[in-house]
Structure 1
Amino acid sequence: MSSYMSSSFPASGFNSQWDIDVGYDDDVLDQSEYQYAARDHILFCIDASQSMQTPAADVENEAGVIRGKSPMHQALDAVVKIERTKVITGPNDSVGVLLYNVDSAKAPLSDNGSVRDGTYVVQSLRTISAEEIKRLIKLLEQANDEYAAEDDEDAPTTEPTVLRDNFPAIPAKDELNTAGVFQACMYLFRDAGNRVTGNKRVFLITDQDEPPGSEVNRSPARTVFTDMTAYGVSINTFFINRPGHVFNANKFWNDILQRPETSDGSSSSDGMEDLTDLISELVVRQAPKRKQFSIPLKFGGRDGDIEIGIAGYALISEQKKGASKMVRMRGQAVEEVQTKTIYTSAETGADLSPEELTSAYELGAEAKIENVLELEKWERRDGDEEDEDGDVVMDRGSAGGAGEPPKRVAKTRLKFTDEQIRSYKTLDIEPPQIKILGFQSPDYLVMTDNIKHSYFIYPDELTYTGSTRTFTALLRSCLKLNRHALALCRIRASSSPEFAVLVPQEETINKREGGQDDPPGFHVIILPFVDDIRDPPKKMTYNLTAMEKLMRRLRFKSGKYISDVYPNPALQYHQRQLQALAFEEDFDTEEFEDKALPKYAGIHKAAGQLMKDWKKLIDDDERAVENVLNPSSKRHVVAIDPADLQDIPSSYRNGTLEKLKVQELRDYAKVNGISLSGRTKKVDIIEAIADHLAKGTGSTGSKKSKHY
């Protein structure tokens, strides 16, 4: 989540209505660190110059013949993989594809229009659709077929004809300068209009460390880049090394993109490798992280004199398949249908309106009392009255005789109105809010109090101006004094009030990549009530050390479980099927890889012998022969006495072992120390006992069992 909470926008000032002096400089109280993009909009800007359409050295034989796809070919393959993934993981996101340094005079007309000479719009920047991706998929299928057909390993690879014809490279003297490329990207973002709100990024893929006019156009390129940043567009670069030439970003790009220069300007990895890593990263991180609530945060004074706006996000949530829609097939057309729920009476079958429905609860046998206590006005007898509380006071005659006091019964014992239920549930705490009650040391926190998924809160400047400044002051004060806040929370209008602790988290920056690892904010951890706490089972740690050696052998090498490595196999299988249907492809179930399957070979190699020894110890333990039966059957635990066993040796000599019950055979093997490890079938158990008796050992007994 941290990568999405990091800012994509420049620092902007704000007018704070709170005057709080905590000793911090104003220039670091920046609301940009709290800005959060719920939707992602990516524009692939790919250099299509002659060098980018030259096959790269994926494979090189002894004669120095180069075999491999061109960088542009590989980049388009990566675009398709990302778009196919985003159809499922980010259906509301937008993806566009722009090629530059393309000869517009020779290239076929684009269905998506044109931005300027030297560019080619493969896909406009708009919400992803399967039909648009199909066109690019078919184009690349032809290119991949041509590439696969070049099976002569002694001849260098040539760029597929379909790519050269559709995206012909422009002459080197006419290649676009960087300012023109950035302007083309801005045109596409502005043409998309208000639909593009959220995280806006340009993925720039090029192998030119000194673009045309790099010296003359430095200032214009830097100006356009500043305009893009002000518009909220960030640029992610993927610099590609040419054969025999390592890309040097210090020559031009670090200056234009306002990045610090490195020692030699070269990157530790190639741009195509980074793009490949990005594909797997997007698959994991594109699960929607929606705002869960936006409510006030009150603190200070008796009743919360200071009130700011906050937004809460769920850091952990189950990624589900998504709700299916009911549709009606009418020939080639598919119509979505609307669902309508109607409640009917179980007695008369008549439709009931919402006004006729109410909520009722069962409370033991009282739920079976006939509803004679709530007679309608036309059903009441003469003499029945209501007191000021609405209870029915029945007359003496109906109460059982003269001289007896009136019988008073509750008018509503099990029924409640919606307003009453809402009042009971919320304790009349209005509206939804988080109110800080005080602050305390982390020493009071107990791990077992964290029983629910926590929320993460950020300031919401749209609700109250100055929320970011006040929120930052509160956060830094808690970090400086090593305190967390105790609060009363009612997060939603339909939720009940709960106590929570607000645990501060300091922002951390990745020193290697320069990005944000952990965002600044508070974790809202819901505390349990006394009714939610259960005592642990007695002697729960009695046998925890029994498998210590086994567990040490099977620990993760990294020392922790990394969820990004193990995608949900059921969800992945479902999404692959949807993709196959959407793109009219065959789905081979045999090729599906379930990464959650245990690595049995590695497990047995690391702890196989220990597991065998452990299982043998269990089989040989006398406590393992006790069978706990169903408690509801009122039968007792049966213990095996060697004197009460079936005469197994006699049955062995008579050849009638197969007539005995499996449990009788198991009891005999247990008492006589016969290992049945790995033997579950009756035939295998008889074979083990027969081998034991063949050695001349055995014991006899009767068929009765001893009960205690």
Structure 2
Amino acid sequence: MTDFVDDFDELFGQVVDEDGLDDRENGGAARRYSSKSGLMIVVDCSRQMFVKDKDGATPFQAAMDVAFLTLKRRVVTDGASGSQVGLVFYNTKDTKNENGFENVYTLHSLGGIVVDRIKEVRLLASSSECAKFAEAHCGPAPLPDDCPLERALWLCNFAFSTAKFTKQDDQKVWLFTNNDNPFFDSDAAKVKLQKRMEDLFQAGQRVFLWPLVHDSSEFDENRFFRQAFAAQQLENETDLEVEQEEEPIIWVTAKARDNMAEFVKKKDFPKRRLAPMQIDLGNDVSFSVDLYPLFMRASVPTKEKIDARTNSILRTDTKYICKDTLTILTPDQILAYFPYGVKNRVKVVPEELVMLKDFGPAHHFTLLGFKDRDLLKPWHSVRSSYFVVPTEKPIRGSTKLFAALLDSLLCRKYIMICSGVLRRSEPVKLFAFMPRPERVNEDDETLVDPAGFDVVVLPWANDIRNLKPSALSSGSLEGGSNGAKKAGDGDNEAPAPPQAPADADMVEKAKALINKMRLPAHEETGRFEPFENPAIDKHFTVLEWAVLDGEGEIDWDEHEDDTTKLRDEDLGKSVRKLGTAFNEAYGGLEDEEAYKENEKERKRKMAAANKAAAGPPKKRARKAPADGDADGPPADWRDKLEKGTLSKLTIPVLKLILEDLGLSQTGKKAELVARIEESAGVKTEQE
């Protein structure tokens, strides 16, 4: 069962944002879906943050690397949407902030991302500037009852409040430290810091911890942070308008420094539900679910046109003008039509268009019945699949009914067939609900796959093509349009030619080659490891380079960064050896030479057939010379020869003279004139 669901996850990973669903259509704009986004980066500046490792790098530099990559990425992805970022240090020996909190230094207040800030953070990531910063700002260990981290988080709360962020906005705090005991075993400081973190959670601010250590064993999150984040996770579980959040502790950076860029890129797209839905089972029985996309297409942002003088974004206004009167048409003067037949048009008004698109209430699924699970094939999906989980809003008791239905379908090995309308003014679609059981890792008892339904979009009967075997034969596909079949003549198609079966040696060589070239699976999930989109990576890399005023070289190597290209060194000697053996087993080289010979013969026969069908070539009527008669050369050409003006005649006339003299007509104009003069001179002497 699990393998079948995994196949659907891999096969149906197409675009999912084409529906354009928005929770605001239901009057419930959920939090964090606002375009307003803010991030406060809080970095520990105690002495242990500047201790170098065996590679000569410090945890503080790792934090600055993440900050630099984040700013560089967000300036091109979130800059237009007004994303704001701030950078704060704590445990410093000096104080610099608007609220006067001791041992807290604000390098960048919460605000827009500019190039100067990015360059300043990049300098701090270098070894020389890091040493200067440590000498100038690195503070001593705080007193036992003192906790500068609490004041730094308080400053973040003030910053979001001053910038008029609300609980519905995206507010994040990234905390970088390698100290798992920030309160130094002081109960008073521990209670104070715990209360401060709860205040942030209640204000809609999510805190993410980045432990800057080389091994997770060096950082014991159970000493304080795991308990502190319990309040944040409880806040997310009780808020039914949002999905479960990511793990608040991010084990990356110093241990996996090379993967920081990939991690920051993955944080560009926050998780969100697509829409709240209601499933009607009939007899006034229904329950509510949340619909989630399994994949979200990452695309290059749409370019904007700006004024070359002011750099302001241009606004486009469209006006429709009457061809006859040259007056601007109003909306009530414009109609739409649907073609009917060849020349007929069925005109419709906007009210009729709305009526044509009305197929019942939006955000509803209606149960049609149940089918055996084996009847659903992977190729039945016409687009990417969704995933639904129960929610208690607006129908209470939905979770119990959802769980009972899920368990019943899993036991009977059934799927649920429903019709549904995902949003207003959208045609009704057909869906198959594939039950998915909960899957837990046996080693650490962590959740691998949640329980729920995979929602597969099915084709209608009108969409299915019944292709016959003869339509898929190599003969019908060869020659492009020549091999295409007209609609309706499928019954008269000739049967596909028999194919020669492969022998046992060919099969074994193919198996060996396929097993050797199998792509590795994901280390954690065991599923297909996805590829990075080289077009998007290159686009943002070039934009980031341009934002920094084109300093240095573009950090893009097609040979290293484009993972979609197969390189010779990736194959290895064993793969090349198996490929050669497989090629020899089925006679690939001989087939290639035979194909070339057959292609030449086919082209020769086609040219001969076309020539025979066209008939004998038609003779072109000779065009009359401009200065002579159509039947022969001009009569006065000898006079022009004596006067030496023969070269003024055109080439066609000169050829007529040569034809009359029985001489060759090839060559350039000067050669034709010389041949005529030489021939005329000999004849004159003979006379």
Fold agreement, TM-score > 0.5: yes
The CA deviation string for residues 191-227 of structure 1, in whole angstroms up to 9 with x for no partner, is 5544453665543322334445414334444444445
SS of equivalent residue, structure 2 residue 537 = helix
Is structure 2 residue 315 aligned with structure 1 residue 342?
Answer: no
Do the aligned partners of 1:115 and 1:121 also contact (CA within 8 Å) in 2? Answer: no
Is structure 2 residue 264 aligned with structure 1 residue 299?
Answer: no
SS of equivalent residue, structure 2 residue 63 = helix
Is structure 2 residue 542 aligned with structure 1 residue 577?
Answer: yes
Q: Over aligned residue pairs, what C-alpha RMSD do you find?
A: 4.4
> Could you tell me how far apart the structure 2 residues matched to 1:189 and 1:69 are?
32
> Could you tell me how far apart the structure 2 residues matched to 1:276 and 1:513 are?
27
Q: What residue in structure 2 maps to residue 238 of structure 1?
A: 210
TM-score normalised by L of structure 2: 0.63
Alignment of 1:33-432 (within 5 A): 38=33, 42-54=39-51, 56-59=52-55, 68-90=56-78, 95-105=85-95, 109-110=96-97, 113-114=98-99, 116-125=101-110, 129-131=112-114, 134-141=116-123, 144=126, 146=128, 159-165=130-136, 167-173=137-143, 176=147, 179-180=150-151, 182-195=153-166, 197=168, 201-217=172-188, 218-241=190-213, 246-249=218-221, 253=225, 272-273=254-255, 277-287=259-269, 291-301=273-283, 305-330=284-309, 333-346=310-323, 349-367=326-344, 414-426=346-358, 428-431=359-362
> Could you tell me how far apart the structure 1 residues matched to 2:93 and 2:193 are?
22
Moved over 6 A (4+): 267-270, 511-515, 543-546, 559-564, 627-630, 633-638
- State the AA in 2 paired with 1:414: V
> Could you tell me how far apart the structure 2 residues matched to 1:440 and 1:71 are?
57
> Could you tell me how far apart the structure 2 residues matched to 1:204 and 1:583 are?
26
Structure with bigger gyration radius = 2
The CA deviation string for residues 79-124 of structure 1, in whole angstroms up to 9 with x for no partner, is 111232233445556544332111235xxx45xx346212123344
Task: Give how far 1:538 is off.
Answer: 1.6
Is structure 2 residue 584 aligned with structure 1 residue 596?
Answer: no
Of the three residues 525, 528, 534, the one matched with 2:459 is: 528
Task: Give how far 1:75 is off.
Answer: 0.9
Q: What residue in structure 2 maps to residue 619 of structure 1?
A: 592
- State the AA in 1 paired with 2:316: T
> Could you tell me how far apart the structure 2 residues matched to 1:628 and 1:312 are?
59
Task: Give how far 1:621 is off.
Answer: 4.8
- State the AA in 2 paired with 1:616: L
Q: What residue in structure 2 maps to residue 155 of structure 1?
A: none
SS of equivalent residue, structure 1 residue 52 = helix
Gaps of 5+ in 1: 3-34, 60-67, 148-158, 260-266, 368-412, 639-708
> Could you tell me how far apart the structure 2 residues matched to 1:143 and 1:314 are?
38
Structure 1 residues 457-466 or 431-440, which shifts more?
Answer: 457-466
Do the aligned partners of 1:186 and 1:228 also contact (CA within 8 Å) in 2? Answer: yes
Task: Give how far 1:444 is off.
Answer: 2.9
Do the aligned partners of 2:90 and 2:104 also contact (CA within 8 Å) in 1? Answer: yes
Task: Give how far 1:249 is off.
Answer: 4.6
Task: Give how far 1:49 is off.
Answer: 0.9
SS of equivalent residue, structure 1 residue 557 = coil
Q: What residue in structure 1 maps to residue 514 of structure 2?
A: 551
- How many residues get paired? 515
SS of equivalent residue, structure 2 residue 65 = helix
Task: Give how far 1:42 is off.
Answer: 4.5
Q: What residue in structure 1 maps to residue 614 of structure 2?
A: none
Q: Do the aligned partners of residues 479 and 535 (structure 1) sit closer, same or farther apart at CA in structure 2, a change above 3 Å counting?
A: same
Is structure 2 residue 580 aligned with structure 1 residue 609?
Answer: yes
Q: Do the aligned partners of residues 279 and 514 (structure 1) sit closer, same or farther apart at CA in structure 2, a change above 3 Å counting?
A: farther
The CA deviation string for residues 582-634 of structure 1, in whole angstroms up to 9 with x for no partner, is 3323373574332322223323631342475353042255797157979xx99
Do the aligned partners of 1:309 and 1:461 also contact (CA within 8 Å) in 2? Answer: yes
- State the AA in 2 paired with 1:446: K
> Could you tell me how far apart the structure 2 residues matched to 1:543 and 1:345 are?
66
Q: Do the aligned partners of residues 602 and 499 (structure 1) sit closer, same or farther apart at CA in structure 2, a change above 3 Å counting?
A: same
Gaps of 5+ in 2: 1-5, 7-29, 232-248, 474-498, 612-687
Do the aligned partners of 2:211 and 2:251 also contact (CA within 8 Å) in 1? Answer: no
Q: Do the aligned partners of residues 242 and 496 (structure 1) sit closer, same or farther apart at CA in structure 2, a change above 3 Å counting?
A: closer
Task: Give how far 1:424 is off.
Answer: 4.1
SS of equivalent residue, structure 2 residue 263 = helix
More helix as a share of residues: 2
